[in-house]
Structures are given as C-alpha cells and as structure tokens.
Amino acid sequence: MSQEKTIRTTTDVDSLRSEIRDKSVRVIDVRREDDYKQSHIPTAVNLPLANLLSDDSPERVLKLVNSMGISDDTSVVVYDDTFGALASRVAWTLEYLGHSDVSLLETTFSKWKSLGLENDNKTPEVQTTNHSIHLKPEILATSNYLETSKDKPSVILIDNRERLNFLEQHIPGAISLPYRTLATSDKILRPKEDMKRLLDNRGITGNAEIITYCGSVGTLSGLAYYALKSVGLPNVKLYVRSFKEWKNLQKPTEKQQDANYWDLSAE
C-alpha cells in the first residue's frame, strides 16, 4: 500500500475525501489568498504560487514546508483552479526538496465545487514541523544542463506551450506537446492508458531522458512532468526556468519558416 502511494501522481476525489476524514493528508491550495479565504477544500492550507515563486530556494521552501506542518512522511495533495499547472509547480518543488509523497488532486477546485463537494473557509491550526532536505537534482534541468544534453539522441525535449507559440519560436530540437493535450474535459490528466497511447505515438517512451519546458516559470511544463510520470516514465526533468530564461540568456532558437500561420488564427 505505502509503495503504491509513493508513485501515485494524482489523487482521485473520493480518496482525498476519505483521507481528509482520516486526517492522514496535508492538502495545499495554491490559489491566491483571497480565493482561498472565500472557500477551500476542508483542512487545506494556502500556498499561493506567487508566494512560492518569490523565492523558491531550498532553504525558503523548507521554511514554507515546515510552516505548513509537513513532515518527511506526510502525504501531501496539491490543487489549484488552473487545470493543475500551478499545483504541479508546487508539487514539483516539494519533490525537488526531497518530499516524495506528493500528488495532484485529479481535478480543479471549480470542478470540486460544481460536484457539490465539501468546502469551507476555515484556516486550519498547523503544528510547525521539521522536514529534512534531500535535494533531487535528477528532476531538475538548468539551462546549462539543457544546452549540453539536448542534442544527445537519448534526450527528448518537450515544449508544452501552445502550438502557435511553438511554431513561432522554440528551443532547437524540441517537440511540441501543448499542455491542453494532457487533460480531459474534467480531469487535469488523461487516464493512464490514454496518455500512454498518445505518448507512444509521439515516440515518448521507455528509458529516454525527457526534459519539459514552457513559457516562463515551469507551470505548464510542470503539469507535463506529472503527465509523463503518470505513465511511469522513469527519467523526467523539468527545465523550471523555461523559455523565458533561455531567451534572456540569448541562447539559440528555431522557428517554422515560410508560412504565415498566425494569419490562420481568429482573434
């Protein structure tokens, strides 16, 4: 059971509800503070993504984790209202710190509410904890790392921005897998078999080293990180500073030439 728990990437609605009842889970709501204060899933603590991003150094993250009452063996479930992208970025950060038992709620808060499930506006009492640090550099890609490894045949670089943005400009060698592709209309990630087939078709399989990136802070590509993990791909890294940093560093980019694809889009 516990082994199964450590590899789950999403937590379904019913499981989370029973874990909340059992008080065996720490739920993190990553929406803005105002939204959180209005209503949230019972017992959830609030960690707005912007707050995390203002300084996501391991030392700071450790403080945040401790203040949310998360111990090394606490089961953590993260949710947002942004199709799982913001939650993914927070979950990934915890994972990077060395907290492995973290997963995403399978759906968004809006959907949770629309199903008529419990919510309240109480801020829970939290006992500060003392989490350890065991950084996992194997899930992080830096620009330097990416530059030296992206041309290796065993590395697959995935751009999770929308297709038009990809056509316009991307990191050379990247393939396009827009973040919308990963979800269904009511779940933040496709069912496993569905996801697996989609990725198989694209040649995203086996023991390849896979690096995901998106536009700026690793949210969309964070979701992709969990999409890839959900089908059991063993070696996935997030280029967390993504295309914004890549461009700022004036590293080479590529574009689809000789076509006015933007004019095909409706405003």
Q: Is 107 in the site for another protein (CB under 8 A)?
A: yes
Of 14, 33, 120, 138, the one binding another protein by CB under 8 A? 14
Q: Which stretch binds another protein (CB under 8 A): 21-29, 95-103, 105-113, 149-157?
A: 105-113
Of 24, 114, 148, 154, the one binding another protein by CB under 8 A? 114
Q: Is 255 in the site for another protein (CB under 8 A)?
A: no
Q: Is 193 in the site for another protein (CB under 8 A)?
A: no
Q: Is 258 in the site for another protein (CB under 8 A)?
A: yes
Nearest distance from C-beta of residue 248 to another protein, angstroms: 24
Tell me which residues in 18-47 interact with another protein (CB under 8 A).
Answer: none
For tokens 């980019």, name the residue. 253
Q: Which stretch binds another protein (CB under 8 A): 78-86, 206-214, 232-240, 251-259?
A: 251-259
Q: Which residue in 267, 162, 266 sits closest to 221, CA to CA? A: 162
Distance in angstroms (rounded) separating the CA atoms of residues 248 and 251: 8
Q: Is 164 in the site for another protein (CB under 8 A)?
A: yes
Q: Is 266 in the site for another protein (CB under 8 A)?
A: yes
Q: Which stretch binds another protein (CB under 8 A): 30-38, 83-91, 181-189, 232-240?
A: 181-189
Residues lying near another protein in the complex (CB under 8 A) are found at: 12-14, 106-107, 111, 114-115, 117, 162-164, 167, 175-176, 178, 180-181, 185-187, 197-198, 201-203, 256-267
